[in-house]
Amino acid sequence: MHAPRVLAVNPYIYDFAAYNFWSSPLGLLSIASILRHNGLPVEFIDCMRVNEAKRKPDGRGPFVKEKVPKPEILKNVQKPFRRYGISPDELSSILSAREEPDLVLITSIMTYWYRGTAEVSEMVRRAFPRAKIVVGGIYPTLCYDEAILNFKEADLVVPSTDIGAFYRFIEEEFHHTLSFKPLFDDLDVLPYPAHDLLGNIPFVPVLTSLGCVFRCTYCATPYMYKKMVRRSPGSVLDEIAHWHDRGVGRFVVYDDSFLYSSENFAKPLLRSIARLPYRIRIYNPNAVNAAFIDGEMADLFVRSGFREVRIGLESIDPLVQSSTGGKVTRATFERAVKILKEAGYGPEQMSVYILAGLPRQDWRDVKRAIDYVRSLDATPYLAEYTPIPHTPMFDEFKDLARFPVSADAVYQNNAVFPYAWEGFTEDDLNWLKRYAKKTGDGR
Per-residue pLDDT tens listing for the chain (443 residues): 688 999 999 999 999 999 999 999 999 999 999 999 999 999 999 999 999 999 999 999 999 999 999 999 999 898 999 999 999 999 999 999 999 999 999 999 999 999 999 999 999 999 999 999 999 999 999 999 999 999 999 999 999 989 999 999 999 999 999 999 999 888 999 999 999 999 889 999 999 999 999 999 999 999 999 899 999 999 999 999 999 999 999 999 999 899 999 999 999 999 999 999 999 999 999 999 999 999 999 999 999 999 999 999 999 998 888 888 878 889 999 999 999 999 999 999 999 999 999 999 999 999 999 999 999 999 999 999 999 999 999 999 999 999 999 999 999 999 999 999 999 999 999 999 999 998 555 56
Q: Virtual CA dihedral for 109, 94, 194, 267, nearest 10 degrees?
A: -50
Q: Is domain 6-174 classified as CATH 3.40.640.10?
A: no
Provide the CATH topology of domain 203-436: TIM Barrel (3.20.20)
Spell out the domain ranges in the chain: 6-174, 203-436
Q: How far is CA 149 from CA 46, 140, 154, 336, 398, in A?
A: 25, 11, 10, 47, 21
CA atoms within 13 A on the CB side of 75: 3
Give yes or no for a contact between 349 and 302, defined as CB atoms under 8 angstroms apart.
no
In the chain, count of helices (H) and strands (E)? Answer: 15, 16
> Which one, of 194, 195, 163, lies nearest residue 180 by Cα?
163
